[in-house]
Each structure stands twice: as structure tokens, then as C-alpha cells.
Amino acid sequence: QEKEGYYEQLNQLVSKFKGTYYDYRMTSELLEIYGSTISRLRGLGQILEARYSIGDTPQQDILKNQVEISNLDETVVELKQRHKILLARMNTLLNRPTGTILKVKSGWDSFTQIKAPLKNLLEVAERYRPWLKKSDLQIQQAEFEHKLAKKELLPDFDFGGGWRFRQGTPGDPVGGEDFFSAGFSMNLPIYAGKKQKKEIAAAYYQKRVQEHLKQATKQEVLFQVEQTFHQLNQLKSQLDILKRRTLPQAHAAVKSSRINYEADEIDFLNILTNEVALLNQRLKQAKYYYEHEKKIAEMEMATGLPIHLLNEMPNKEVTHDKSPEDI
């Protein structure tokens, strides 16, 4: 039980670290997105000031642009502080000083896929999740204690024997001869109704408690797997729509508004609105991607196996003889 409890704690610790790791990388990605947007708006501000100098742009357009840049700068300050906090958290989870510098790669990795269907994932969780394996062992312990309690209804027998050496003394009728002694005792459960049977009943109900706890634990684990599976599909669909439709449309809107603005067909507010819309779509894309990777880590925790073993499930049987550290 202690071994499986240790593996469950390790399982949850790995998931917690991966969640913090992807939050850190997402924060880095958001800082880059905000930085590039601020650079574009500042470049646009130079154009506005040039147009204002010749009377082609009202001063309010310059002020609107500056206000938007200030709002973005404020968000960047918040993100930088969050970046430092997440770095300290990762070091804490790694049992290192909070100021230790970690080399964390930037940019996107390949999109992590789960090839196993939901049915297989549920079966894997039932078999490999340490939390459930610990529950099984607790039931076994309760069953064993119940069997031992039943044995208390049987009488206890005790046999004994010994050889004693004696020295002769004046007046000793046997002249100091050695002798052998033997004994027999029996303990009868004459108060079985008051004591032993109650202990048996207590052990039986303890076993029932462990069985109900196992069922509740199983339901919770299976819910975690199914919920995470559907959340992964949702994030994957949202990211796909964003990449194929929404984000290209936002880029096209920004490009078109700049051309029309230079042709004096629209006002500056249209450009600013489209820039903000593009920023929001880029932020969404980064959040969807890293939330998806965090959900992958949650699926690993819920099933008790890392992703590379989960993806082998449809093709071959997975053995779990190695410890979680080895895996």
C-alpha cells in the first residue's frame, strides 16, 4: 500500500510539474505575441505622427494608439511577474533553490496526439492507476483481517514441557533427582457473542467500507479520464478552426484595413480594432495549444502511464514491471 501510495504521489507530482512547465512556456509565448503587437503599433504610431504633421490625421488617433500601447505594456508587466513566479514554482517542484536558472526551450513542439480510443484509456486507468491499485490492496488487507477475526471463534490450545535439574538437600524425599514436567491448557471463546462475533462484524464492515471506497475511487478515476479525453478533443477542434479559418481571416483583415487606411477609405479606429482582434486570435492559439499539452499531462496522471505507452495500447500489450522512475 505504501509503495502504491508513493507511486500515486509521484504520478501527481509529475503532472503538476508538467502543468507548471507548460504554463511557463505559454507565458513566454504570450510575451512574444504582445511584444510583436506593441512593435507594430509603435510603427503605426510613427506613421500617424507623420500624417498628423501634415494635417492628414487627427490627434485623437495618435492618443488612441498610445492608450492601446500603454494597456498592452501593463499586461506585459503582469506576464513578466507571472513568468518569474512560474520559474520559482518549477524549481520548488524540482527541489532546487527558487533562483536556479532553467533552460526551457521556446516555440512550439509537434502537436501531441493520443491514438488510443476512450475505451482503451478507461481500461488502462483501471489496471495501472496506482490510486486504484492501492485500493485493491486495502481490500485485500480487510479481507485478511476478516478471516483472522473468524479464527477467534476457535479454541486456542497450548502445550508445554520441561526438564528440571535438582541438587539433593537434607530431607529431600527424592534425593535431588531430576524430573520432567508437561502441561496442557485450552482457551475457550465462551464469550463469543459479546466479543469475538462483534470483532468479526467490525472486520466485515471494514471490508465493505474499503470496497465502497474502491468503487468511489474507480468512478472518480474513470470520470477524470473521460472528462480529459473530451476536453482534449474540444481543444483540438478549436485549435484546428483557429488555424484554418479564424487566424488567416484576422491577418487578412489587418492587411486590408492598412491598405484602405492609406487610401483614406476607412478611419484609424478600423486598423486598431483589427490589430486587437488579431492579437486576441494569436493569444487564443497559444492558449489552446498549451492547454492541450497540459491536458495530455493530466491524461497521463489519470491513467497512470506516460503518453508514449498510452499510444502503444491499440497495438500491443503494455507491461508495467518497471517502476514509474524507470518509465
Q: Tens digit of pLDDT for each residue in 40-98?
A: 999 999 989 988 888 888 999 999 999 999 999 999 999 999 999 999 999 999 999 88
> Cα Rg for the chain, rounded, in angstroms?
36
pLDDT(197) > 70: yes
In DSSP terms, 12 is beta-bridged to none
166-173 mean pLDDT: 62
The pLDDT score that the predictor gives to residue 324 is 47
Q: Where residue 168 falls among pLDDT bands split at 50, 70, 90?
A: low
Chain centroid offset of residue 80 CA: 25
Find the angle CA(46)-CA(49)-CA(55) to the nearest 5 degrees.
145
The pLDDT score that the predictor gives to residue 320 is 47
The pLDDT score that the predictor gives to residue 64 is 93
The percentage of residues in the chain with a pLDDT greater than 90, rounded to a whole number, is 54
Rounded to two decimals, what is the model's pTM? 0.79
Q: Could you tell me which residues come within 8 angstroms of residue 223 by beta carbon, excluding any fewer than 6 positions away?
A: none
Q: Could you tell me which residues come within 8 angstroms of residue 120 by beta carbon, excluding any fewer than 6 positions away?
A: 313, 314
As a whole number of angstroms, the distance between CA 92 and CA 98 comes to 6
DSSP string of 233-260? Answer: HHHHHHHHHIIIIIHHHHHHHHHHHHHH
Residue 299, judged by CB atoms within 10 A of its CB (0-12, 13-18, 19+), counts as: buried
The pLDDT score that the predictor gives to residue 176 is 58
As a whole number of angstroms, the distance between CA 243 and CA 225 comes to 27
Quick: pLDDT tens for 275-297. 999 999 999 999 999 999 999 99
As a whole number of angstroms, the distance between CA 49 and CA 56 comes to 10
Quick: pLDDT tens for 102-119. 888 776 667 788 888 999
Q: Where residue 327 falls among pLDDT bands split at 50, 70, 90?
A: very low
